[in-house]
Amino acid sequence: MQTTHIQRLSGTNLGTYSFDEFEERKQELARLKEQASSFWQQEKTVLVAHGIQNCHNILDLACGPGVVTRKIKSLVPDSHVTGVDLNESLLNVAISDSQQDDFESPTFRKADCTKLPFETSSFDFVYARFLFQHLCDPDAAVTEINRVLTPGGRVVIVDVDDRDLNVTPSCSSFDQLTRAAGFFQAQGGGNRHVGRTLDDLLASHNFTNVTRQVQVMSSDQIGLDSFFRMTTQFKVEQLPKELAGQMRDLIPEIRRELASMNATISAGIHVASGLAC
């Protein structure tokens, strides 16, 4: 198989998301933080519906810069919350930002989600947000989730499915960028259509009470520009260098086109859940 940009990055098991390889790291960090904050109210409702407030040991798997990890800690202050990620730069941001909080910090730790450094049955809730689309071996991650959860413990996995990413009215340059990003992510072993597979994935690992629902996020909630920045623009970073350059030049044009049409972008975010056996 041809070696792609993303495959070269995956030597560290970071799959198709290597923050340190982004050209615009400051921008990407701001995007991760903005995305985690903008939809927190909606996300909190989902987590509460899955009983997070009754849990004592919560793991945020692939916590990135820890924004959601800290929000979980403030939501369930009496619980012990741990955030793990394989990327040290993002973990350092999480640790440093959590020092500003007026509540106890979560524990942040470097770990690979396919080889977790925790005893069997250490957690009663595991949350994984926008991780699975990047994994070359999602089965290995689910095996580990099952192992570290207590029997009956809950997993919630949130991820995209680009078949539910829509622009109205349609915009061909937007489609060109999202198609190219999906193609190269798949070449690197990732999957931007992972959303619809998540319930089957959990069921195949003997999780019980498996559910999957779709939450719709839309640019009507936070504005077209912010929504585009958070869900689409960053994808140029995941393209091979030459194509990334071309697509980066296309961004202002896509923005103008979307604005002139007064377009709405919507994304279906899949939320799968199950209980460990």
Ligand X SMILES: C[S@@+](CC[C@H](N)C(=O)[O-])C[C@H]1O[C@@H](n2cnc3c(N)ncnc32)[C@H](O)[C@@H]1O
Positions 144 through 163 that interact with ligand X (CB under 6 A) = none
Q: At what angle do helices 25-38 and 224-231 cross, to 10 degrees?
A: 120
Residue closest to ligand X when measured from CB atoms = 64
Residues in the chain: 277
Does 188 participate in binding ligand X (rule CB under 6 A)? no
Q: State the chain's maximal CA–CA distance in angstroms.
A: 55
Q: Quick one: which of 46, 47, 58, 131 contacts ligand X (CB under 6 A)?
A: 131
Phi, psi of 111 (to 5 degrees): -160, 150
Closest to ligand X by CB, 87 or 122: 87
Positions 30 through 69 that interact with ligand X (CB under 6 A) = 32, 36, 62-64, 68
Are 110 and 94 spatial neighbours (Cβ–Cβ below 8 Å)?
no
Does 134 participate in binding ligand X (rule CB under 6 A)? yes
* Distance in Å, CB of 167 to ligand X, minimum: 21
- 44, exposed or middle or buried, with CB in 10 Å at 0-12, 13-18, 19+? middle
Positions 18 through 37 that interact with ligand X (CB under 6 A) = 19, 32, 36
Helices (H), the chain: 5-9, 25-38, 40-49, 67-75, 88-98, 138-148, 172-187, 198-204, 219-222, 224-231, 241-260
Contacts of 7 (CB under 8 A, 6+ apart): 187, 188, 189
Q: Which stretch binds ligand X (CB under 6 A): 48-56, 125-133, 190-198, 247-255?
A: 125-133
First to last CA, the chain: 38
Does 112 participate in binding ligand X (rule CB under 6 A)? yes
Q: Which stretch binds ligand X (CB under 6 A): 45-53, 127-135, 146-154, 203-211?
A: 127-135
Closest to ligand X by CB, 75 or 261: 75
Q: Quick one: which of 15, 153, 190, 274 contacts ligand X (CB under 6 A)?
A: 15
Count other Cβ atoms within 10 Å, centred on residue 253: 10
Does 130 participate in binding ligand X (rule CB under 6 A)? yes
Count of positions on this chain that bind ligand X (CB under 6 A)? 22
* Distance in Å, CB of 127 to ligand X, minimum: 8
Does 197 participate in binding ligand X (rule CB under 6 A)? no
Angle (CA) 203 206 209, round 5°: 65
Positions 75 through 104 that interact with ligand X (CB under 6 A) = 85-87, 90
Find, among 23, 43, 25, the residue nearest to 93 by Cα.
25
- In the complex, the residues that contact ligand X under the rule CB under 6 A are 13-15, 17, 19, 32, 36, 62-64, 68, 85-87, 90, 112-114, 129-131, 134
